[in-house]
Amino acid sequence: MAAKSNLVNMVLCLTLVCLVCGGLLGAVNSVTEDIIAETAQKNLVASIAAVLPEGGELSESQTSDAAGIGEYYVLSTDGAPVAYAVKSTTNGFGGALTLMVGVLPDGTVYNTSVLEHSETPGLGAKCTEEESLFRTQFKGFKGRLAVKKDGGDLDAITASTITSRAFTLAVKQAVELVSSLNGGQDNE
C-alpha cells in the first residue's frame, strides 16, 4: 500500500531530495575545485604571454583601483617597463567581458586576449576569434579607442555593436591605466 500523500510526507521527501542533491554538488565541487583553479591559472599565464612581447622579466600581479581593472603585470628589461599586461572587465551584451590587454608604455596596444565572455555565439562571440578582422585591428593600435559609429577609429563586429563597444572600452581602460602609470601620457 502506498503512503498517503500529505504535507508532512511531501516536506520530508523534498528535504531528503535537497540534502542528497546538495551533498552530490558539494562532492563534485571538492573534486573539481583544484582542477578548475589550475586551468584558470594556466589560461591566465597563456593570455599574459600572448599579449606581451617576448623577453624581459614579468612582475608579480599588481592591483589597481581603476574602474574595470582587476590586476596588471609589468614586463621590464633592466628595470625599465617594456610593456604591461592588464586584466580589464566591462559589460558586454551577454554579461561580463574580461580581456587581457598588452599595452606598451607609449599607449600602443600590443595585443589582446579574451579571458571570459558570455556573448552570443556567432555574433558577439566573434570577439574571441584571434585572427578575426575585429581583433587584428587592435594589434599595434594607437589612435582613438572607440568604434567608428561613435567617432573612433575601430570597425565594429557586424551586428554586434554592443560587444564591440564593450571590447573597445576594456582596451581603453587598460590603455588609460598604463597612461596613468607612466605620468599621464595621452593615447590620442
- Under 8 Å between Cβ of 165 and 188: no
Give the tens place of pLDDT for each residue, 81-135.
999 999 999 999 999 999 999 999 999 999 999 999 999 898 888 899 988 999 9
At 39-70, the pLDDT tens digits run 989 999 999 999 999 999 999 999 999 989 98
- The pLDDT value given to residue 105: 96
Owner of C-alpha cell 594607437? 142
pLDDT at position 112 = 97
Res 43: pLDDT? 92
Boundaries of every domain in the chain? 50-181
**Overall size of the chain counted in residues:** 188
Calculate mean pLDDT across residues 13-36. Answer: 95
Instruction: Find the angle CA(164)-CA(42)-CA(89) to the nearest 5 degrees.
Output: 30
Helix (H, G, I), strand (E, B) or coil at 148: helix
The confidence band for 1, taking pLDDT boundaries of 50, 70 and 90, is low
**Residues whose CB falls within 8 Å of the CB of residue 119, separated by 6 or more in sequence, listed in order:** 92, 93, 94, 97, 125, 127, 128, 160, 163
pLDDT over 90, % of the chain: 81
Please give the pLDDT value at position 183.
Answer: 78
Count the helices and strands in the chain (H runs, E runs): 3, 6
Query: Residue 34 to residues 31, 42, 47: CA-CA distances in angstroms?
Result: 7, 12, 20
pLDDT band at 186 (very low <50, low <70, confident <90, very high): low
pLDDT interval class at 188 (50, 70, 90): very low
- Give per-residue pLDDT as tens, 119-128: 989 888 889 9
46 vs 184, residue with greater confidence: 46
Contacts within 8 Å (CB) and 24+ apart, 66-69: 66/173, 66/176, 66/177, 66/180, 67/173, 68/169, 68/170, 68/173, 69/173, 69/174, 69/177
| pLDDT confidence tier of residue 185, bands split at 50, 70 and 90 | low
